A and B are shown apart, each in its own frame.
Chain A
Amino acid sequence: MKRIDHSEASSKFIKAKDHLDFHDKRLWDLRKKRDRESEHLPEWEELRTLASAIKEHTLTHLADYLEEFERNAIANGAHVHWAMDAAEHNQIVLDIMRSRGARTLVKAKSMLTDECDMRPFLENRGIEVMETDLGERIQQLDDEPPSHIVVPAVHKLRGDVARVFSETIGTDPKNSDVHYLAESQRQHTRPYFLKADAGMTGANFAVAETGSIVVCTNEGNADLSVNLPRLYIASVGIEKIIPRIEHLGVFVRMLSRSALGSPITQLTSHFRAPRDGTEMHIVLVDNGRSGRLGMADFWYSLKCIRCGACMNTCPVYRRSGGLSYGATYSGPIGVIIDPTFNLRKYSSLPFASTLNGSCTSVCPVRINIHEQIYKWRQIIAERHQLPFVKQEAMRVAGKVLSSPKLYRAAVETAGTGIEHLPRFMMYSRLNAWGRQRDVPAAPQLTFRQWYLKNRGKR
């Protein structure tokens, strides 16, 4: 499988200046709103600690809580399915639908179904799938994956949406008024809610104590997807479990504040049992999660509540766009999760970071994101997945910098022009330093030479 070249992809993103400016500003605005919300809660840092502790406890007792959840969900009248991987998940969903004669699925936002590549799987087998979240729908109509886990089409300008909608749902190509576009999508989607045979949501939380699914949304589309069709399927990653309903208060207070800088989502819906005459199915999905749970350096990533705060604050993400990561999960959280799916394919992603640590500081569940990025780099180097030029540069750098003699020979050429600099100082990816930056002028003397001249040997 081809390696993702994040740098190359980001350079394309950066060339579209209007898009880049908007993308950076829009996400930075979310970060600022998040700051304002957290400032209003004196207990914010304490909440982060509490949220982290609840997740840590749950993950270290995961099997027990999953079984408790299953018992309670079944007692509520739901069907519970277990999927080892994406293929099993997709097959389970297909089987449920086929056995009930269901052909149309309206679905709310779910990163897990993207992770499982569910939509193309179902569509290729005759199921019509309608994304009902506005951003996800835009992306579906444009045949692109979401670029952000909370705001899937944030990389598009309204003119782009006008183009996509005019080509697909027949809006006026010249009208890029946001309300017009949103209303057009709403009118287009309504009939599907009414005719759909099945509805689907992901889960923000699954409460073991009650066996219920909690979904936090702003558009009401999840509630329509669940409450209109006669069949409801929830796809749930096994790390979404929280033990008690009382714990929800901690997470609900943090989720939307971290994600969008709003105190709470418009809707926090609890789906506990099927309505009379309908069915509710819950698919609990592993797809690599239990493997991740066993990784000493990386299991903390499973605490993630998918708020996207790390993406909004990430200066690299804001300037390269989610699609440049070539993976379901982008930004800092993606960088530490994606390699667990395919180390080679995603080996450039942990290097798409300056290790600035802002992600770690905004994370509502205190995932040590930038430390995990650092650790992934070691694993990638150990498994010989570094690009050859970097591997060589580091080998040479290690040799030169560990020898005072070689080091001095490299830096002590008086009036060294940059062209004479040793590889290890400029690394040389076709001299990438100088492409958009001026190079520092080399001084006549190094500090050491000055020191010997002015302070003498001590």
Chain B
Amino acid sequence: MKAALFIPCYVDAFFPEVGIATLELLERLGVDVVYPLDQTCCGQPMGNSGCQEDAAATEALFVRNFAGFDYIVTPSGSCTHHVRENLTAIAQTTAVTKVRRSTYELVEFVHDVLKVREFPWAEFPHAVGLHNGCASLRALRTARMSEIEEPFFSKPLDLLSGVKGITFVTPERPDECCGFGGTFSVFEEPVSARMGYDKVTDHRKAGAEYIVSADMSCLMHQKGCAERLGLPLKFIHIAQILNGARE
């Protein structure tokens, strides 16, 4: 199977190891991965700020880079959400709607498309707190949210259960937003930081050594908060664990 890899701008710039893990994991699982070299961003920062006009050219570039692929995979729930639900600043041509339909967040791609549950190379003997980003949780619906009356399900947990030695802690408010929120993190800095402090403190109190997530942007924010608070917490993207990272 052939799939295009989209590495979000903040992962490209700050967390190349997450991009590498995503690429290697997909290759291990037998996917023929193509990385279009002119990619930048999905347009979300402008789109979430209401600036459709400023988002248009970036969205058009995204579509140019990824048109023609049946699967576009990215290690980011919020970028996937933007492409799928909110990439609306440009005319909705057939190419655009196809790209929007074909974009998958990594966990849902591995879980729903590849249908893989075993990761024999992966072992992570640590206590982890799972953080589901809000876009993954409430928009992509990769796990049961606590607000809704429905049977329990969790795609990230399904995958992580195939990792040897991993144990999970349960924070008091497992799916409360961590307060990143894109530009919210700087324009509403007081509330954003306080939400982040509360989130990492909750995980630490529950006994987490690591916070793992399919969304690196949430983790970037939480990591900054934990470091400032001096909490002994580590942060890791789910792609890294599934790809066999030990720590």
Contact = CB atoms under 8 A, between A and B. Distances in A.
A293 B98 CA distance: 34
A20 B19 CA distance: 38
A451 B35 contact: yes
Nearest to A352: B188
B13 A356 contact: no
A394 B187 contact: no
A374 B41 CA distance: 19
A20 B221 CA distance: 21
A354 B180 contact: yes
Given A440-B14, A440-B223, A448-B12, A319 B195 contact: yes
Given A320-B191, A377-B50, A401-B58, A35 B23 contact: no
Given A319-B191, A374-B48, A397-B45, A358 B177 contact: yes
B16 interface: yes
B166 interface: no
Contacts of B177: 315, 354, 356, 358
Contact of B48 (A320, A352, A355, A448): A355
Interface stretch (A38-46, A125-133, A206-214): A38-46
A365 to B, nearest CB: 14
Contacts of A76: none
Contact of B227 (A41, A386, A438): A438
A431 to B, nearest CB: 8
A7 B191 contact: yes
A381 to B, nearest CB: 4
Which of A11, A401, A452 neighbours the largest number of chain B CB atoms within 10 Å of its CB? A401
Interface in B149-181: 149-150, 173, 175-177, 179-181
Contact of B225 (A20, A35, A315, A437): A437
B185 interface: yes
Interface residues of A, number: 83
B136 to A, nearest CB: 11
A96 to B, nearest CB: 43
Interface in A20-41: 20, 24, 28, 35, 38-39, 41
B7 A397 contact: no
Contacts of A378: 50, 52
A38 B149 CA distance: 7
Given A14-B194, A357-B134, A401 B43 contact: yes
A233 to B, nearest CB: 38
Binding site secondary structure of chain B: helix
A38 B150 CA distance: 11
Interface stretch (B105-113, B140-148, B239-247): B140-148
Contact of A401 (B9, B173, B191, B192): B9
A80 interface: no
Contact of A45 (B13, B138, B148): B148
B125 interface: no
A447 B181 CA distance: 23
Interface string A42-78: 1011000000000000000000000000000000000
Interface in A99-144: none
Interface residues on B, range: 35 or more
B95 to A, nearest CB: 17
Given A315-B176, A356-B177, A404 B38 contact: yes
A450 B14 CA distance: 12
B34 interface: yes
B54 A315 contact: no
B186 A381 contact: no
B14 A354 contact: no
Contact of A432 (B13, B186, B227): B186
Interface string B3-29: 000010111111111011001000000
A432 B187 contact: yes
B50 A381 contact: yes
A429 B51 contact: no
A380 interface: yes
A433 B186 contact: yes
B189 interface: yes
Interface string B35-63: 10111110101101111111111101100
Contacts of A187: none
Interface in B58-100: 58, 60-61, 86
A362 B147 CA distance: 6
B190 interface: yes
A424 B45 contact: yes
B181 A353 contact: yes
Given A315-B176, A358-B177, A411-B9, A427 B220 contact: no
Interface of A: 6-7, 10-11, 14, 20, 24, 28, 35, 38-39, 41-42, 44-45, 313, 315-316, 319-320, 350-358, 360-362, 374, 376-382, 386, 390-391, 393-395, 397-399, 401-404, 407, 411, 416, 424-429, 432-433, 435-440, 442-443, 445-452, 455, 457-458
18 contacts: A354-B134, A354-B179, A356-B134, A357-B138, A358-B138, A358-B147, A360-B138, A374-B48, A374-B86, A378-B50, A397-B54, A398-B54, A402-B60, A428-B186, A433-B224, A439-B224, A446-B16, A455-B23
Given A358-B175, A416-B13, 4 more contacts: A24-B198, A352-B191, A438-B228, A451-B23
